[in-house]
A and B are shown apart, each in its own frame.
Chain A
């Protein structure tokens, strides 16, 4: 199987994994919880906090309930895949590394129109923002490129760089198909399977769930529970489990949004509630890393070691 010019969805993932492993990233697996973006994975959001260097690459399934179209739109989905790369501190040649990854997928920048178009990223619920671009491939947004400036309300020093590939869109370009459901997922000795074979029914049913069937009262209750649990976990100094409650609250909020159960002011209030939790987690996480002596920092020479009075 050739990894260059990946012919299937799965070989695209394998190619990107190979490429970023060669660059030295830690290859991780998806977070096993519903999230709206790869950024929510602790390997990005939490690792962006504090002075420790870090680099990781992983696939993350994403759920965006409001983006569902009952499987009727050729490229809008309420469940799709991102390939996430996070490097901290952001390297000087970060853009070039990204462009090389596209070349590794067989895309020639002298054939395709590849551009970085301003798109500043902000996650109100995570209290995080950064500056960067969406990357256009012949007019299609295929990636998001961000230099984090703040996460959980904390300044990012050093700055981490984040690349998020929209896998389906890149695959549509590589396979030259017009509908995401026509993408070839795998094509081996056991036969050919399309993206639609894997996910179309899921798109239809989940769209019904997100827009119509999700039970609003339960969701409200669930949100309150997550908030309460998160606060209690923070009191017990357990930032990582507390963060999982933030993620659950955030997804619950997204479902309420899809059900149009929130007025504008209520929506703001819910965002603020999640952000408050995320901030609490960020601060607690920073403290916990500090207590561990920031283990990922390169070992410093003894004479440079600060003596805390």
Chain B
């Protein structure tokens, strides 16, 4: 067994950005493992180790790494033997040069047979290097490869990191490894909480790290399992109970707050009740976004005039911290109140001209242009989904007007929501204010969809206009680049159509949107299909996430339904079909038929001649097909694919019988053609729903 020892590295820094902290720590962990592996220091039976982070430190603990590389042999090939000695048998310059490069004399070289003939060779014995020698380089490389968006310099130094680095712990077993990294000398001393324990703490062993920091240093480091987040949410919940409230815990906010403290202490504060007259979303935005406080609600979900802040100090006078936090919130809420009052003095409708000055996309014009396009499209969609086109048009004209209000200027995340409030205040119909409020939905995974029909029409139109416009200006998403968030918009759009069961031909809508775009693509038709395929691709991801099999999706996609709802019905039908006993046989049969037809050179142009059906099995099959053709026609027309497939399940026995008793590839060409025609007919029957031949049958 090779020797291993525990390893610890800690980078002590000025306060690191909270939002990137976890990602940074995890990347460092990954980089270290990769570097250790490429330096042959990663043991055969490794254990993953731990990632720790706090605002002032990133640390990785690995329970075992190899203390030394294995010794190894490396064979070097030199010149061809024929070129290594002259006529007198004396070594040539080439031979001597090679020997010198290996640190030996020519007499120590041996000949070796290779594909390129006989060559001089020498086997170098390389002693493995120790981890202690290699670690400084390994750590430096791992740090250099961190995904840091903006590196900075400080003082007169050349070192670059996220923030100025002040200390670094580098330990192998109980020993500190001395090196110079990022302008600091490494050792075995860490530091505790900035104020509670500013003095150095000497580490005796890497495994002590987290515990020692907590006990002595008053630092709770976060780990990969989010132990600090859990602790903080327990603190917040407990504090909330004290004032008979329930905390509203946003996971993203919890993580950010956890990355801002080393010693979390909850503080419960309150604000003037008069601010509760402001819209809930505004108060929450002030508390969460501006102050990183947790809002509280009562049992009925009504906001309370309390908040919980997480401080980073076990204060000697907690009331000072509390009153300080309370003092900040008043001007913030006063400001929000100022916007709320002043914004409502101007109607949304009278702000429409202002939208001309707000650029949406350089090539796609202003928000006024976008609103005009969206209004036309929303009206068309409303008509198709059975709602009032005039309402949809009006909602679209007003939907972007809140972008020029003071409140949305201050809180961009309230776009739409404020528009809804202001529209209601202006006396717009409820359907319109609701539509404006919900037209950005769904704005994240799992977000609710628009409830009103007008909201749905508007949301679809708004998203489609963005997608089509961006494609038209040649900026479709590629790889991981999607600067305009088109994938999210596409997924949202498809979710609305499918989950709200809206009947509409997407390609027609794409065409209508494209015709309105100022950016003129070279050709329309291929672009319509490209956009349509892009939307279908999002639908595929959506289905996969919801447990629909990829082959089921492909079987339906083969039919190219242009209406997502129709697409959805087919997917559901195939899913249900797969649960009935006949499904697998019929899917196999379809596969077999597809193969036979392909081998026979595609569709026969012929129709079936009933007179030529000799075998009882083929006659029975033909009769069944004729009957089912009549039966399923109305079902297909009504989009009832479930019952279509259920009816077709009746074909299992006749199809089995047919393949058992009848030889399709008959030598007699007339009979053969007729049977192929029969199979085409059969296949066409199933194809009305989906290409079942594409289903997995094993």
Q: Which positions in A face B, CB cutoff 8 Å?
A: 69, 72-76, 89-92, 95, 108-118, 120, 130-131, 133, 137-140, 147, 149, 157-159, 161, 172-173, 176, 178, 263-266
Contacts and interface: CB of A to CB of B under 8 A. Distances in A.
B315 A90 contact: no
A158 B156 CA distance: 5
Measured as residues with beta carbon below 8 angstroms from the partner, the interface class of chain B is: 35 or more
B335 A73 contact: yes
Interface in B294-324: 309, 311-313, 315-317, 320-321, 323-324
Contacts of A120: 150
B615 interface: no
A139 B325 contact: yes
Contacts of B19: 118
A138 B324 contact: yes
Contacts of A139: 291, 293, 309, 324-325, 328-329
Nearest to B293: A139
B659 interface: no
Contact of B330 (A72, A111, A178): A178
The 7 closest A-B pairs by CB, nearest first: A138-B324, A263-B357, A139-B325, A116-B15, A113-B311, A118-B17, A158-B156
B12 interface: no
A238 B459 CA distance: 56
Nearest to A117: B260
Nearest to A178: B327
Contacts of A73: 331, 334-335, 338
Contact of B155 (A72, A92, A112, A140): A92
Nearest to B319: A111
Nearest to A74: B331
Nearest to A118: B17
B315 A147 contact: no
A11 B293 CA distance: 33
Contacts of A172: 327
A89 B156 contact: yes
B320 A115 contact: no
Contacts of B327: 138, 140, 172-173, 178
Given A115-B260, A264-B359, A147 B316 contact: no
Given A120-B150, A131-B150, A263-B359, A108 B316 contact: yes
A76 B331 contact: yes
Interface in B142-160: 150, 152-156
A177 to B, nearest CB: 9
B325 A109 contact: no
Nearest to A120: B150
B163 interface: yes
Given A139-B291, A139-B309, A110 B195 contact: yes
6 contacts: A95-B14, A116-B14, A118-B18, A131-B163, A138-B327, A265-B359
Contacts of B261: 115
A110 B331 contact: no
Given A74-B334, A139-B291, A173 B154 contact: no
Nearest to A139: B325
B269 to A, nearest CB: 9
Contacts of B267: 113
B358 interface: yes
B164 interface: yes
Contacts of A178: 327, 330
Contacts of A69: 335, 338
Contacts of A72: 334, 338
Given A76-B331, A131-B163, A159-B153, A112 B321 contact: yes
Contacts of A110: 195-196, 313, 315-316
Nearest to A156: B153
Nearest to B160: A149
Contacts of B153: 147, 149, 157, 159
Nearest to B314: A110
Contacts of B152: 130-131, 147, 149, 159
Contact of B154 (A76, A109, A140, A159): A159
Given A76-B335, A140-B327, A113 B321 contact: yes
A149 B151 CA distance: 10
Given A118-B18, A158-B156, A112 B320 contact: yes
Given A111-B317, A117-B260, A147-B154, A74 B330 contact: yes
A147 B165 CA distance: 13
Contacts of A133: 15
A113 B357 contact: no
Interface in B356-375: 356-359, 362
Contacts of A112: 313, 315, 320-321, 324
Nearest to B267: A113
Given A159-B154, A264-B358, A137 B324 contact: yes
Given A112-B324, A138-B320, A178-B330, 10 more contacts: A74-B330, A90-B155, A90-B164, A113-B315, A114-B313, A147-B164, A159-B154, A173-B324, A264-B357, A265-B359
Contacts of B154: 90, 147, 159, 161
A111 B325 CA distance: 13
Contacts of A116: 14-15, 55
Given A73-B338, A117-B15, A111 B316 contact: yes
Contacts of B357: 263-264, 266
A263 to B, nearest CB: 3
A62 B329 CA distance: 23
B363 to A, nearest CB: 12
Nearest to A51: B156
Interface centre among A131, A265, A266, by most B CB within 10 Å? Answer: A131
Nearest to B259: A118
Contacts of B291: 139
B315 A89 contact: no
Contacts of B359: 263-265
B15 A113 contact: no
Interface centre among B261, B338, B362, by most A CB within 10 Å? Answer: B338
A130 B359 CA distance: 28
A113 to B, nearest CB: 4
A116 B260 CA distance: 8
Contacts of B196: 110
Nearest to A131: B152
B315 A140 contact: no
A193 B329 CA distance: 27
B183 to A, nearest CB: 10
Interface centre among B14, B166, B356, by most A CB within 10 Å? Answer: B14
Given A137-B324, A159-B155, A118 B15 contact: yes
Contacts of A131: 150, 152, 163
Nearest to B16: A118
A89 B312 CA distance: 30
Nearest to A70: B338
Contacts of B163: 131
A68 to B, nearest CB: 11
Nearest to A173: B324
A154 to B, nearest CB: 14
Contacts of B356: 263
Given A139-B309, A265-B359, A109 B195 contact: yes
Contacts of B166: 92
Contacts of B334: 72-74
A73 B338 CA distance: 9
A266 B325 CA distance: 39
A67 to B, nearest CB: 10
A136 B18 CA distance: 14
A111 B358 contact: no
A243 B16 CA distance: 35
A210 to B, nearest CB: 14
A172 B17 CA distance: 28
A111 B315 contact: yes
Contacts of B313: 109-114
Given A263-B358, A265-B359, A140 B328 contact: yes
Contacts of B164: 90, 92, 147
B342 to A, nearest CB: 10
